[in-house]
């Protein structure tokens, strides 16, 4: 047992602290995935969405493999045949959903696409209640609704509704929600790190094939590579690794609702990096969102749901 494992063992958490550990991991995942919007915005000034996506997830796969080698060495975690199908489905749904998101952003207003994509939280909570039989108190359902409204207020910008963007965003959100459900159902059989690496690898293969068929394969400049390499560590690798870790302690509904707070972190990064300040609408939306998350997380029993 190495030094890190000794510390982890010495700080063994009880039921209450385990619940809050899941909450902190979910918030950390939200903070990490927010880097995606900053790094991808810069990178796609040079690359098309289809050229960018396989490089983004390919870099994330490499980050995951480096982290795996550092943690486990050359030991290969045995994955049973029954786990192969969930991994392929998880990566496929997430890959197609990602392509649709970039298509919606490319063909329409990015702010409108971002607003419509908030439906993934609705899908995920409903799937958790229906498929996993997760039980929420009425005030927690209210918290989910308030959080979604707050996110919408924070991210929405007026404009003409483009039905194509709406359709692509709704389908994309549903596919990504399905992939999250698959992850939750298999989180005990497939370790979070292995699942994160498998997800990004499958997405890389799918998006590479689409980019190749579309003739949009490109090699970026060194500066763009820097944004891709740095952003892919935080976004598609670390954020999903921590999300899957949080699912060991939280039910699907709580984890997905917390992760939907990423616009707050995007606003903070924009302020630090670009000096962009929140307007009144964004500030009110952020406060509403946080209020909804607090309602969602409030549980007198503080009992984490088993995966």
pLDDT tens digit sequence for 161-180: 456 777 787 788 889 889 98
pLDDT value at residue 273? 64
Residue at 287 is within a domain: yes
Q: Over 50: is that where the pLDDT of 1 sits?
A: no
pLDDT bin (cut points 50, 70, 90) of residue 119 is low
The whole domain housing 62 covers 37-297
Residue at 15 is within a domain: no
Q: Which of 102-106, 118-122, 158-162 shows the lowest per-residue confidence on average (mean pLDDT)?
A: 158-162
The answer to whether 155 touches 112, Cβ cutoff 8 Å, is no
User: Residue 274 to residues 234, 271, 277: CA-CA distances in angstroms?
Assistant: 19, 6, 9
**Could you give the CA distance from residue 257 to residue 25 in angstroms, rounded to a whole number?**
13
User: Residue 21 — φ and ψ, nearest 5°?
Assistant: -65, -40
Calculate mean pLDDT across residues 223-230.
Answer: 93
Phi-psi region of 133 (alpha: psi -120 to 50; beta: other; left: phi over 0): left
Q: First and final CA of the chain: distance in angstroms?
A: 27
Residue at 307 is within a domain: no
Calculate mean pLDDT across residues 184-204.
Answer: 90
Calculate mean pLDDT across residues 45-69.
Answer: 91
pLDDT bin (cut points 50, 70, 90) of residue 11 is very low
According to the per-residue pLDDT averaged within each range, which of 16-25, 41-50, 85-94, 125-134 is highest? Answer: 85-94
CA 111 distance to own-chain centroid:
18
**Could you give the CA distance from residue 106 to residue 168 in angstroms, rounded to a whole number?**
11
Q: Over 70: is that where the pLDDT of 117 sits?
A: no
Q: Over 90: is that where the pLDDT of 109 sits?
A: no
Calculate mean pLDDT across residues 196-208.
Answer: 92
The number of domains in the chain is 1
pLDDT value at residue 63? 95
Residue at 258 is within a domain: yes
Residue at 257 is within a domain: yes
Residue at 68 is within a domain: yes
pLDDT bin (cut points 50, 70, 90) of residue 6 is very low
pLDDT value at residue 252? 85
Residue at 122 is within a domain: yes
The reported pTM is 0.77
pLDDT value at residue 16? 46
pLDDT bin (cut points 50, 70, 90) of residue 155 is low
**Closest alpha carbon to 206 in 91, 59, 102:** 91
**Could you give the CA distance from residue 94 to residue 206 in angstroms, rounded to a whole number?**
10
pLDDT bin (cut points 50, 70, 90) of residue 98 is confident
**Could you give the CA distance from residue 298 to residue 296 in angstroms, rounded to a whole number?**
6
**Could you give the CA distance from residue 24 to residue 44 in angstroms, rounded to a whole number?**
31
The overall average pLDDT reported for the chain is: 77
Q: How long is the chain?
A: 307
pLDDT value at residue 93? 92
Question: For residue 56, what is the DSSP state?
Answer: H
Calculate mean pLDDT across residues 183-201.
Answer: 90
Helix (H, G, I), strand (E, B) or coil at 300: coil
More confident site: 225 or 277: 225
* Residue 89, C-beta contacts closer than 8 angstroms, at least 6 positions apart: 178, 179, 182
The percentage of the chain sitting over the pLDDT mark of 70, rounded to a whole number, equals: 67
pLDDT value at residue 306? 44
**Could you give the CA distance from residue 205 to residue 90 in angstroms, rounded to a whole number?**
13
Tokens of 182: 């698959």
More confident site: 184 or 140: 184
Q: Over 70: is that where the pLDDT of 156 sits?
A: no
Residue at 133 is within a domain: yes
């Amino acid at each position: 047992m190495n030094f890190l494992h000794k510390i982890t063992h010495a700080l063994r958490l009880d039921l209450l602290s385990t619940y809050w550990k899941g909450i902190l991991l979910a918030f950390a995942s939200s903070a990490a995935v927010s880097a995606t919007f900053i790094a991808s915005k810069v990178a796609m000034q040079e690359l098309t969405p289809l050229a960018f996506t396989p490089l983004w997830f390919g870099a994330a796969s490499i980050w995951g493999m480096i982290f795996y080698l550092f943690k486990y060495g050359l030991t290969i975690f045995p994955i049973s045949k029954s786990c192969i199908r969930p991994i392929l489905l998880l990566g496929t749904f997430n890959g197609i959903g990602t392509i649709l998101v970039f298509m919606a952003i490319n063909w329409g207003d990015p702010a409108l696409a971002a607003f419509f994509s908030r439906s993934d939280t609705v899908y995920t909570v409903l799937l958790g209640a229906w498929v996993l039989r997760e039980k929420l108190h009425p005030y927690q359902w209210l918290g989910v609704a308030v959080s979604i409204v707050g996110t919408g207020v924070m991210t929405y910008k007026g404009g003409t509704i483009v039905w194509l963007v709406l359709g692509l965003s709704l389908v994309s959100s549903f596919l990504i929600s399905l992939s999250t459900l698959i992850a939750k159902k298999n989180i005990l059989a497939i370790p979070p790190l292995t699942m994160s690496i498998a997800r990004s690898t499958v997405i890389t293969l799918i998006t590479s094939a689409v980019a190749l068929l579309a003739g949009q394969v490109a090699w970026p400049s060194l500066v763009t590579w820097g944004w891709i390499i740095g952003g892919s560590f935080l976004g598609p690798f670390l954020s999903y690794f921590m999300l899957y870790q949080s699912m060991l302690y939280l039910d699907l509904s709580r984890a997905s609702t917390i992760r939907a707070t990423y616009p707050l972190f995007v606003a903070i990064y924009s302020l630090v990096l670009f000096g962009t300040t929140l307007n009144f609408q964004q500030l009110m939306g952020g406060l509403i969102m946080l209020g909804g998350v607090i309602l969602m997380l409030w549980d007198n029993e503080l009992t984490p749901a088993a995966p």
